[in-house]
Amino acid sequence: MNDAVRHSPGLWALAWRRLRADRVAMVALAIVALYLVSLLLSATGVIARHWDAEVGVSYAPPSFLGAETAAQRDAPRIKVPPAPPAENPRDPLGPLLKRLRAERAAGQGGIDYYGIQDPLAGDITKLRAKLRAEPDAGVAKKRATLPFGADKWGHDIVQKTIKGSETSIVVGLTAAFLATLLGTLFGAISGYYGGWVDDCFNWFYSVFTSVPYLLLILAVAAVLHQKGVLTIVLILGLTGWTGVYRLIRAEYLKHKQREYVLAADAIGASHASRMFRHIFPNVSHVALVQLSILTVAFIKSEVILSFLGFGVPVGVASWGSMLNEAQNELILGKWWQLVAATTAMAVLVTAFSVFTDALRDALDPKLK
């Protein structure tokens, strides 16, 4: 190649070269990429479009466990003592209860409809008779087992997890992006100008951080008063900028006195140019690493919010809502939804963290 036009490897090319040398980071990157691909495919409807179809029986177990037998399904979970409790001789209602029991045993009594005729009684009787004759007519055959089981409504857990990861990752990424954007902007202005501007931002920051985090989230949630993905993004983004702000501000305080910034001032570069064209590329690794750390944190926060009932609305799958359902299922011994959501989350969060760590090392200008 002609030497005169040979471009030197830029910062990103160098960082990429260093990243590629790190095998663990590349595996982590592959895992993250896999999640992103699945996110794209599910968002465009290629996969998991019919996640809310009720394809299995309620709580269908995973295929590798085999279908539940009828006996298992019908067996009462809790043994109810068959005998009524012994009578209390001092019970003032004793005689009344005794009379009612006797009536029920004789087949009388029951519900009194006060003489109103049920207008649908005829139809219902006909339908019941028809169903008795051919039980499966009109209903798709529900599968007794699914690859990783089904939830209460018979949704396929695998598809639900894929759809749920779409929500969770989108929430995590956009909220982290919003928070980093706010934090970087505030931090840059505050650190660069210093003086009373810095004081104002610092007061604002102190007020924000003095409120307990969860309370702040719940307060914003209550004010926005609307359930939805956008609301969660706003809640997390508007509360999460504080850490980024602090770090970026410190970096700007440090960098604005560096000679290259003084040199830029000396040649007449404007404030905005110095702030974002000169300094920002030199502190961008901080923002980038914060972005990925926040993404991980916000995916977890979404789970917590949904678990507390401030999360995504009913009818939208997310890891958080799955975990929220799992608390009831676990009592019934249906563990698969819990395992699916936590595994998907743990793998992504771990991979993302490992990748972030490697990225910070690769981007740090000091290590050049």
Partner 1 sequence: METKPLLAVRDLRVSFRVDRRQPGFEAVKGVSFDIPENSTVALVGESGSGKSVTSLAILGLLPPENATVLPGSRILYGGRDLVGLAQDELRELRGRDISMIFQEPMSSLNPVFTVGYQIAEVLRLHLKLSPRRAQARVLELLDEVGIPDPLAKSRAHPFQLSGGQQQRVMIAMAIACNPRLLIADEPTTALDVTIQKQILELLAALQDRHRMSVLFISHDLAVVGEIADRVVVMRSGEIREQGTTDAVFRNPQDAYTRALLQCRPPLEHRPQRLAVIDDFMGSDKPPGAPGERARGLAGNEPIILEVRGLGKSFYSRQGLFGQREFKAVQDVSFKLARGKTLGVVGESGSGKTTVGLTLMRLHQATAGVALFEGRDLLAMPNAEFKAYKRRIQIIFQNPYASLNPRFTVGQILTEPLAIHGIGANDAERGALVRELLARVELPEASYHRYPHEFSGGQRQRIAIARCLTMKPDILICDESVSALDVSVQAQVLNLLQDLQDQFGLSYIFISHDLAVVKYMSDQVMVMNQGEVVEFANSDDIYLRPQHPYTRKLLAAVPRADHRIRAA
Region 139-168 residues binding partner 1, contact defined as CB under 8 A: none
Q: Based on the shown chain and the rule CB under 8 A, indicate whether residue 334 belongs to the binding site for partner 1.
A: no
Q: Which stretch binds partner 1 (CB under 8 A): 5-13, 83-91, 144-152, 161-169?
A: 5-13
144: left (phi over 0), alpha (psi -120 to 50) or beta: alpha
Q: Which stretch binds partner 1 (CB under 8 A): 88-96, 238-246, 262-270, 354-362?
A: 262-270
Q: Which stretch binds partner 1 (CB under 8 A): 172-180, 212-220, 260-268, 307-315?
A: 260-268
Q: Based on the shown chain and the rule CB under 8 A, indicate whether residue 278 belongs to the binding site for partner 1.
A: yes
Count residues contacting partner 1 (CB under 8 A)? 26
HEC string of 339-353 equals: HHHHHHHHHHHHHHH
Least distance CB 29 / partner 1 (angstroms): 19
**Residues 270 and 285 sit within 8 Å (Cβ to Cβ):** no
Q: Based on the shown chain and the rule CB under 8 A, indicate whether residue 23 belongs to the binding site for partner 1.
A: no
The angle at the Cα of 254, spanning 253 to 256, to the nearest 5 degrees, equals: 70
Region 98-117 residues binding partner 1, contact defined as CB under 8 A: none
Backbone angles phi, psi at 146, to 5 degrees: -130, 160
Q: Based on the shown chain and the rule CB under 8 A, indicate whether residue 281 belongs to the binding site for partner 1.
A: yes
Q: Which stretch binds partner 1 (CB under 8 A): 69-77, 91-99, 257-265, 343-351?
A: 257-265
Q: Based on the shown chain and the rule CB under 8 A, indicate whether residue 5 belongs to the binding site for partner 1.
A: yes
**Complex with partner 1: residue 273 or 343, whichever CB lies closer:** 273
Least distance CB 296 / partner 1 (angstroms): 27
Least distance CB 148 / partner 1 (angstroms): 42
- Point out which residues bind partner 1 (CB under 8 A): 3-8, 10-11, 21, 258-260, 262-269, 273, 278, 281-282, 365, 368
